[in-house]
Amino acid sequence: MNPETELKRILCVVNQKGGVGKTTTAVNLAAAIAKAGHRTLLIDMDPQCNATGALGCQVADRHPLIADTPVSESLLTTAIPKLDVLPGSRSFQDVDKLAQSDGPERVKVRERIDSLHAAYRYLLIDCPPTLGTLTEAALTASTEVLIPIQCEYFAMEGLSQLIHVIRRVMQRTDGRLTFGGILLTMYDPYLELTAEVDSEVREFFGDIVFDTVVPRDVSLCEAPSHGLSVFDYAPRSRGAFAYTQLCMEVLDRD
């Protein structure tokens, strides 16, 4: 297929719970896709800006998606060939503008993300751990949503609310947003609870759940403190293997 005619994919990584591997997934899946040879952009829309720092990049003073300068001027290169970052901002003013529910800023966010299609095959958006209007703005600009779920007792709690928000965005927009997949994280095969959560999620959601599971791996926790993806920090780790497998699944669903 001619690269110029390929459908660009914008994956929104979202869960209203913190600590489920959301940013870890956004960062390492983006890195894996880039290492597979595809031009990839990681967009940080979380005011905590963890995705930006996880790849050794500097936080922006103003968020590029609503700043007055062209968004292309804010793109940052990383140590990984073919992977760039659109950095996040901790500016409260920018967070408020990004989160405007029905104002011109939401349209501007989508238009600015769409303007990057010519340069990137895959765009991944790291969202804040909330179901607020900032997350809705990210969903509105995306083509598919990826939901990490931690293998814990309350894994399903709140998931119905998240799906309700996703469906609301689908109804309000032109229908380009679809369910990209559910990813089980912090997977411990030796725990009976993990097997129960795995079975429950797959029984309820079926084929939308990725075959890949992400194990508990200290390398995934340590890599961001060095400004590296897990592939560059611990290439032989279980976490690196898992995100390689996830990348293959994502590419196969193209």
For residues 122 and 118, give the distance between their C-alpha atoms in angstroms, rounded to a whole number: 10
| Percent of residues in the chain assigned helix, strand, coil, to nearest 5 | 45, 20, 40
Amino acid found at 88: G
CB neighbour list of residue 66: distance below 8 Å, 6 or more residues apart: 94, 97, 98, 105, 108, 109, 112
The structure's pTM equals 0.93
| Structural domains of the chain, with CATH | 3-252 (3.40.50.300)
Question: Residue 130 burial (CB < 10 Å; 0-12/13-18/19+)?
Answer: middle
Q: Which tokens hold the place of 24?
A: 């870890």
Measure the CA dihedral 246/224/177/158, to 10°: 90
DSSP one-letter code for 8: P
Contact 189, 196 (CB under 8 A): no
Contact 42, 85 (CB under 8 A): yes
Identify the pLDDT of residue 8.
Answer: 84
Identify the pLDDT of residue 106.
Answer: 66
For residues 147 and 124, give the distance between their C-alpha atoms in angstroms, rounded to a whole number: 12
Average pLDDT for consecutive 10-residue bins of the chain (254 residues)? 59 93 98 98 95 96 88 95 96 72 68 89 94 88 95 83 90 88 95 93 93 97 97 98 98 88
The H or E element containing residue 144 is strand 144-150
Identify the pLDDT of residue 68.
Answer: 84
For residues 192 and 202, give the distance between their C-alpha atoms in angstroms, rounded to a whole number: 16
For residues 54 and 76, give the distance between their C-alpha atoms in angstroms, rounded to a whole number: 13
